Amino acid sequence: MSDALYAEIESFVPASPEETQAKQKLLALIREYGDRILDRDCPAGHITCSGYILSPGLTHTLMAYHLIYGSVGWTGGHADGDPDLPGTALREAREETSVTRIWLQTRRILSIDVLPVPPHEKHGRPVAPHLHYNVTYGLIAPMEQPVAAKPDENRDVRWLTDEKVAAQCTEPQMLPIYQKLTQRMRRIAEEKRRIPEHMPAPLLEWYASSHRDLPWRHDTTPYRVWVSEIMLQQTRVEAVKGYYARFLNALPDVQALAACPEDQLLKLWEGLGYYNRVRNLQKAAQIIVNDYGGVFPQKYAAVRALPGIGEYTAGAVCSICFGMPTPAVDGNVLRVMARLREDFRNVLDPAVKSEVQETLAAVYPGKDCATLTQALIEIGATVCVPNGMPHCDACPLRTLCMAHLCGSAGMLPVRIKQTKRRTEERTVLVLRCGDRIAIRQRPKKGLLAGLWELPNTGGILNEEQAAALAAEWGVQPLGFEKTVQRRHIFTHITWEMTGIFLTCGTMPEDFVWADAQDLENVYSLPTAFRCILE
């Protein structure tokens, strides 16, 4: 028996006698059949997983018209041996609707229902009546993305209001389930919304007795806080301590920083790296001296406008030094908030960061803004840590934390880099002379630096243009062999390649002329070019 599967079902808290009965029946079947309950051939029925998808505002439900049932309904499908039930719900939701941006509202199970399945045909084969022990999870998906049905099972995927769900669902036994799921997801959303309101008091009490003794906390004048925050970007706290003391000893105020010779400035920064930080630090110091009379500006917009100061640093300076309700939201704070509210949105999405800033600003106390900013940073650095499980036993927020209560802390935060690849068209020439082909070495810098390549050029050439280019290279093209089309995907770029094979009469020394053995053992020809030859 799978202990993890049993624990997953055991964690569900029923809200009706029917759900209690369904849970107990499923637990009994897991004890009897073990992981076989995940497979379709289990004689007593089997587990299926559904995703009930609401819009971020919880106003619309994403449903598909199911061909088997003749009605609009939720997404879902068979576990087929996979004990990752929420993962199955997400996978099925993506397959049946084609949505790409979708996430769990919560790790907790929303409902367990026993659903009789009538006899039907699937892929031309009869399916006997059986039972689905359906485990449902709440999912959230933005409405503005494209949707499309899975043609062999569904059609007409669409967003529906509550009223339209009630009007278009022709399965009377399913409508009460959909209604309870909508109500539960709205109730969970309200629970999450209220959590930050209760956060400041226990966090401030914890910080008073548990914070680290760091040198930049002894003197919170703007200059010192600002210097520390710039140093702490991309650099560990322990590494910064010594540099911070040395820097302030040499440049104790903004005037000294503004007037410091560049050689001395860079020497003071030596070893910290990312030298643009200190160059911008000095540029900002010179603006403060020239435009503000050497007095650090005390308005958020003015601080934010200084070179090298982003939203995080501006928030830190304004809250710690001037008592403003301006949160300093970095990776630590995003992680704390993601776990606290069990938020499965991508924390690398700028819209998520903006929402966290607004949420925190609304709950900042009338006083102690400075302490709350530092407490949020501190708990993320020392308790709700990255790269591992948080120290929940030491956390003052554990009774509020939805991820702790739902067992999902290890799954959060979600970090998905949104990389946009550009597409580049290239023509690659395979120049043959006997059993040898022309290759050349790429530049020492840039993409595929220093590796060997087939001669190529930007854009798409036809056969005549390719032959003319080959003639310019001095290879004496004699005839055309064939053209192939290939695609190669790099991290940030996709090459759409046309490979043109030409027979050549000369082997100029501008190229290396390699045979098959050379390409196998001597020259490193990357996949981007090797695929042309395959």
Which residue numbers are catalytic?
229
Extract long-range pairs of 160-163: CB within 8 Å, 24+ residues apart: 160/60, 160/61, 160/62, 160/63, 160/72, 161/59, 161/60, 161/61, 162/61
The dihedral built from the CA positions of residue 520, 523, 527 and 528, taken in this order, carries a sign that is negative
Cβ–Cβ under 8 Å, residues 50 and 89 = yes
How many of the other CB atoms lie within 10 Å of CB of 426?
18
Query: 3-class DSSP state for residue 112?
Result: strand
Judged on CB neighbours under 10 Å (0-12, 13-18, 19+), 392 is: middle
> Which residues contact residue 335 at a Cβ distance below 8 angstroms, ignoring those fewer than 6 apart?
347, 380, 384, 386, 412, 413
CA dihedral 523, 524, 529, 534 (to 10 degrees): 80
Q: Which residue bears the tokens 């006083």?
A: 367
Rounded-to-integer distance, Cα 73 and Cα 172, Å? 11
Query: 3-class DSSP state for residue 373?
Result: helix
The dihedral built from the CA positions of residue 411, 419, 236 and 367, taken in this order, carries a sign that is negative
Comparing C-alpha atoms, which of 491, 513, 347 is closest to residue 415? 347
Query: Residue 25 is which amino acid?
Result: K
Query: 3-class DSSP state for residue 133?
Result: strand
Rounded-to-integer distance, Cα 258 and Cα 498, Å? 56
The dihedral built from the CA positions of residue 38, 41, 43 and 46, taken in this order, carries a sign that is positive
